[in-house]
Amino acid sequence: MNHAAHDPASLELSPEQMRTMGQTVVERAVAHLAALDRAPSNGDFTDIEALCRALREDAPEDGAPLESLLDPLFEEWIPRSFGTPGPGYFAYIPGGGVYPAALADFIADTANRYTGIWQAAPALVQLEANTLDWLRDWMQFPETARGLYTPGGSMAMFNAIAAAREDRLGHNIRAGTLYVSTQSHHCITKAARLAGVAHDRVRQVAVDGRFRMRVDVLKAAVAEDRAAGLRPFMVFSTAGTTNTGAVDPLEAVADLCAREGLWHHVDGAYGAFFHMVPELRPLLAGLPRADSLTLDPHKGLFMPYGTGALLVRDGEKLRALHSSEAGYLPDNQSEFYDPAQYGPDLSRGFPGLRVWLTLKLFGTARYRAALAEKRALAVWAANEVAKIPGVVMDAAPQLSLFAFHLESPRLDTLEAQNAATRALMARVTARGRVMVTGAQVGERYLGRVCVLSFRSRRAQVEACVEDIAAEAAALLAEAGG
């Protein structure tokens, strides 16, 4: 008999109750995943504001049966969102959600071991350390490199800027200047502000015709700031921009940073994991020379959202920023990886288990094959989309993302072309088979396709091309062109 059920102060469940609840949730989750290939690529957002207002409620005084909570969650609320885990999701930068990672989170949450410091769970922290070493090796960073898992790229950027600021500027933060391209991710400026580098000390560097940072403009900006008595200290280049997938000239930026004594950070949140594939490494030449590197395993490793990472070439510089002591904690040790000595969190989850369990189950070879396939599918799709009448390819896939716009003799103004391209993205998504999004780049609006979901295979990419072709033809016919 389960006496805890009659004890109002107890939150314990019997083994049978836990088993039943777990099986119920797994059955729902698996049914949801099994139906993804038939589900719309984008949710129904009709009257979504009214729904969200209706969902506002006070905290419940009494509990409810699990089934009564899962029904609306899976049947009403989850479907009314972007179809991010679906095979037809080519919008933004697709996330992942491999099933073994969900199992790892379940294990981590039920075991509930403390992994903030090595002494509390030595073997478990070692597993996480192993995965960071795997990231290091795939990126060809030296053995001196150390890293940490973060909730995403934004916090990886913040920690990188803070480490560089501490190393290069010391207490004279106000004099420091930081350099990004006009296509760099907006989170860098936010992260800089959080790290004490004000907006007026972040310089935007122009890009070339392929949307890559211009090193000549960067060089001139650094010289100008030095002449003004400022202290240039950090450059951000990008291994795959969000707008067009552009890869900055990493080798040339690394050369300039070496000459000028600047910390070179590569934002590889989207594209760095293609470096796992030896035959694709030339696309990211220069990446291993970075002083620090942002990685998003929830993109290129197909992990669930909330799995970011940072690598720092000289791990001691990251440790110098974060290492601390307290009377109630064990003394710091130096032989084994200790998360709290390399990141801001003391209380934390166990994100490394996601990566460890998934890679141990699948193996690296399957990951390399999947990433190579996404690149090949994007190249094929871009070639096919470029053949569609009215489509102008603005950015061929340097990795697995390409961007384009629509024009014709009757779409003879930039405003008309932008409107048609926006309509093209909306109409393709409205068909329900795939979801695509665009981006404003300068004065031009570009349509874009990013192939990165592990569930996206040839059939979904073909559907994407077919729908773009059909809707482009319809829009041009309506325009009379």
**What percentage of the chain exceeds 90 in pLDDT?**
93
- Give the predicted TM-score (pTM) of the model: 0.95
How large is the average pLDDT for residues 37-51?
A: 93
Between residues 133 and 335, which one has the greater pLDDT? 133
Using a pLDDT cut of 70, give the percent of the chain over it: 98
Q: How far is CA 332 from CA 116, 117, 323, 374, in A?
A: 12, 9, 8, 43
Is 37 in contact with 87 (CB distance < 8 Å)? yes
Sign of the alpha-carbon torsion through 31, 37, 41, 47: negative
Helix (H, G, I), strand (E, B) or coil at 162: helix
How far apart are the C-alpha atoms of 402 and 438, rounded to whole Å?
Answer: 11
Tens-digit pLDDT profile for residues 451-462: 999 999 999 999
Q: What mean pLDDT do residues 440-464 have?
A: 97
Residue-wise pLDDT for 343-381, tens only, equals 999 899 999 999 999 999 999 999 999 999 999 999 999
DSSP annotation string for 355-380 = HHHHHHHH-HHHHHHHHHHHHHHHHH
- pLDDT at 86 > cutoff 60: yes
pLDDT over 50 (residue 1):
no
Taking the C-alpha atoms of residue 182 and residue 185, their distance in angstroms, rounded to an integer, is 9
pLDDT single digits (tens) 374-417: 999 999 999 999 999 999 999 999 999 999 999 999 999 999 99
pLDDT in tens, 279-316: 999 999 999 999 999 999 999 999 999 999 999 999 99
Average pLDDT value for residue range 13-42: 96
Q: Closest Cα to residue 321, out of 455, 196, 138, 419?
A: 196
pLDDT at 186 over 70: yes
Asked whether the predicted pLDDT for residue 107 surpasses 80, the reply is: yes
Minimal CA–CA distance to 370: which of 282, 303, 429? 303
Gap between the Cα atoms of 105 and 42, Å rounded: 26
First to last CA, the chain: 77
φ and ψ at 444, to 5 degrees? -105, 140
pLDDT for 377:
98
481: confidence class by pLDDT, cuts 50, 70, 90: low
In our burial notation (b when 16+ CB lie closer than 10 A, e otherwise), range 376-405 reads ebbbbbbebbeebebbebbbbbbbbbbbbb
State how far the alpha carbon of 274 is from the alpha carbons of 132, 359, 372, in Å: 17, 16, 8
List, for residues 199-212, the tens digit of each pLDDT value: 999 999 999 999 99
pLDDT of residue 5: 57
Report the pLDDT value the prediction gives residue 400, as an integer from 0 to 100. Answer: 98
Query: Length of the chain in residues, anyone?
Result: 481
321-349 per-position pLDDT tens digit: 998 776 666 777 788 999 999 999 989 99
The residue among 25, 27, 9 whose CA lies nearest residue 17 is: 25
**Higher pLDDT pick, 295 / 7:** 295
**Residues contacting 234, CB < 8 A, separation 6+:** 161, 164, 165, 168, 176, 178, 179, 262, 263, 264, 265
CB 214 within 8 A of CB 207: yes
* CA–CA gap between residue 37 and residue 85 (Å, rounded): 10
Instruction: Give 4's pLDDT tier (boundaries 50, 70, 90).
Output: low
Q: Mean pLDDT across the stretch 233-262?
A: 98
Residue 247 pairs in a beta bridge with: 239
- The strand pair at 231-238 and 176-181 is best described as parallel
The pLDDT value recorded for residue 324 is 77
Largest pairwise CA distance in the chain: 80
Return the structure tokens found at 57. 């409620």
